[in-house]
């Protein structure tokens, strides 16, 4: 059973819905331990007090805020619990907005959480969820999680609702920091049409089950090989792509490759790399072997001769 990492209530107007938060995601990456290079013993990360010049227990540590150089004020767990904000124990809905929004500030998602309503609040919880679904709305709210107040979005998700925490507007860097150039590009109608055709050929329903962490799988294979004392196989480096000089030719080739791959498998959107691989396989499959060539000659011999049209 998953463990709730936060307990509180959704608040909007005079409505209170007791809920629990559960992390909606988990990391599947491979982690490593730090070892001593000489004897491969695992390194211990110790908590060290430079004043007493001795190792101390983590239970002997407290949270401190440096308010001036070398000067700290101690903040206890009780202090954090008593922060005078309603959002410490409630998800305060500030407003409702259309789910398909263009505000860039809410596109930078931090974490995702599932909501589980307490039994007493299930009816109100599903009422809110139903209204959000019917009107295509998102609830913008604030909540304190792990000693920090977060801006968040609340959306219907299957049988429950999903809360995604967002970055505050002043945490998002401006695109003015990027060197994007100041050129204005004019596109030919044929270029726009071909690009649209390529996008259309690669468009389909997103099926997450069709995707996998190939890097993690490759890394696991390397680890297993080393554990078994086998030689690891070097992966062939991908070919370096050349600079695109003829944009139209590149687009046309991409469209043809995408169409070929899509005809072979329409279960998911395909990348240009997949499309090229599928096209190469189809070419290989049509190469005649001696046996197929002989069979073809027999079939041609068995066919009745065509009558030539008189002039």
- Residue 194: pLDDT above 80? yes
CB 141 within 8 A of CB 93: yes
Tokens of 234: 């070097």
What is the pLDDT at residue 302? 45
What is the pLDDT at residue 303? 44
In angstroms, the CA 2 to CA 25 distance is: 12
Q: Are 11 and 132 members of one domain?
A: yes
Q: How many domains does the chain have?
A: 2
- Residue 285: pLDDT above 70? no
**186-199 mean pLDDT:** 87
For the entire predicted model, the pTM comes to 0.66
With pLDDT > 90 as the criterion, what percentage of the chain qualifies?
A: 24
Q: Are 129 and 271 members of one domain?
A: no
What is the pLDDT at residue 306? 44
Q: Is residue 11 part of a domain?
A: yes
Q: Is residue 148 part of a domain?
A: yes
Q: Is residue 104 part of a domain?
A: yes
Helix 247-264 to helix 189-201 angle (10° resolution) is: 20
Q: Are 13 and 101 members of one domain?
A: yes
Residue 165: domain span: 6-25+82-171
Nearest to 104 by CA among 34, 164, 168, 12: 168
Q: Is residue 177 part of a domain?
A: no
Tokens of 266: 């329409």
**49-70 mean pLDDT:** 89
Other CB atoms within 10 Å distance of the CB of residue 39: 6
CB 21 within 8 A of CB 114: yes
Q: What is the CATH number of the domain that holds 105?
A: 2.40.290.10
Q: Are 140 and 269 members of one domain?
A: no
Q: Are 12 and 110 members of one domain?
A: yes
Q: Is residue 30 part of a domain?
A: no
Q: Where are the beta strands (DSSP E) in 13-172?
A: 15-23, 48-49, 54-55, 63-68, 71-75, 90-98, 109-117, 137-145, 148-157, 160-166
Nearest to 254 by CA among 207, 205, 211, 196: 196
Q: Is residue 127 part of a domain?
A: yes
Mean pLDDT for the chain overall: 78
Q: Are 146 and 270 members of one domain?
A: no
Q: Are 220 and 98 members of one domain?
A: no
Q: Are 150 and 215 members of one domain?
A: no
- pLDDT tens digits, one per residue of 258-281: 778 777 765 555 455 565 565 565
What is the pLDDT at residue 142? 95
What is the pLDDT at residue 165? 93
Q: Are 197 and 163 members of one domain?
A: no
Nearest to 91 by CA among 4, 172, 165: 165
pLDDT higher at 157 or 88: 157
pLDDT tier for residue 214 given thresholds of 50, 70 and 90:
confident
- Residue 309: pLDDT above 50? no
Q: Are 124 and 18 members of one domain?
A: yes
- pLDDT tens digits, one per residue of 113-149: 999 999 999 999 999 999 999 999 999 999 999 888 9
Q: Are 139 and 223 members of one domain?
A: no
**216-241 mean pLDDT:** 71
Q: Is residue 180 part of a domain?
A: no
What is the pLDDT at residue 136? 92
Q: Are 21 and 157 members of one domain?
A: yes
Q: Is residue 241 part of a domain?
A: no
Nearest to 83 by CA among 142, 124, 12: 142
- State how far the alpha carbon of 109 is from the alpha carbons of 10, 105, 165, 224, in Å: 20, 9, 6, 35
Nearest to 107 by CA among 59, 167, 45, 54: 167
């Amino acid at each position: 059973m998953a463990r709730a990492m936060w307990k509180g209530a959704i608040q909007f107007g005079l409505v209170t819905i007791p809920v629990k938060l559960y992390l909606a995601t988990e990391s599947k990456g491979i982690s490593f331990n730090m070892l001593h290079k000489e004897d491969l013993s695992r390194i211990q990360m110790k908590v060290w007090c430079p004043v007493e010049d001795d190792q101390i227990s983590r239970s002997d540590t407290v949270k401190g805020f440096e308010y001036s150089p070398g000067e700290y004020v101690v903040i206890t767990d009780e202090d954090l619990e008593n922060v005078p904000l309603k959002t410490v124990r409630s998800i305060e809905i500030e407003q409702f907005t259309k789910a398909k929004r263009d505000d860039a500030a809410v596109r930078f998602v931090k974490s995702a959480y599932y909501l589980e309503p307490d039994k007493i609040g299930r009816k109100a919880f599903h009422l809110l969820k139903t209204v959000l679904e019917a009107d295509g709305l998102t609830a913008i709210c604030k909540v304190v999680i792990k000693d920090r107040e977060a801006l968040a979005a609340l959306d219907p998700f299957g049988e429950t609702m999903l809360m995604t925490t967002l970055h505050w507007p002043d945490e998002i860097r401006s695109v003015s920091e990027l060197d994007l150039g100041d050129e204005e590009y004019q596109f030919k109608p044929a270029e726009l049409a071909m690009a649209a055709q390529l996008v259309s050929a690669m468009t389909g329903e997103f099926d997450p089950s069709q995707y996998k962490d190939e890097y993690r799988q490759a890394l696991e294979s390397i680890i297993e090989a080393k554990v078994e004392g086998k030689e690891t196989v070097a992966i062939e480096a991908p070919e370096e792509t050349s600079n695109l000089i003829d944009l139209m030719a590149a687009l046309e080739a991409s469209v043809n490759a995408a169409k070929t791959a899509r005809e072979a498998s329409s279960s998911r959107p395909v990348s240009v790399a997949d499309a090229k691989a599928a096209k190469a396989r189809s070419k290989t499959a049509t190469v005649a072997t001696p046996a197929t060539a002989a069979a073809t000659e027999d079939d041609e011999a068995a066919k009745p001769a065509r009558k030539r049209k008189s002039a």
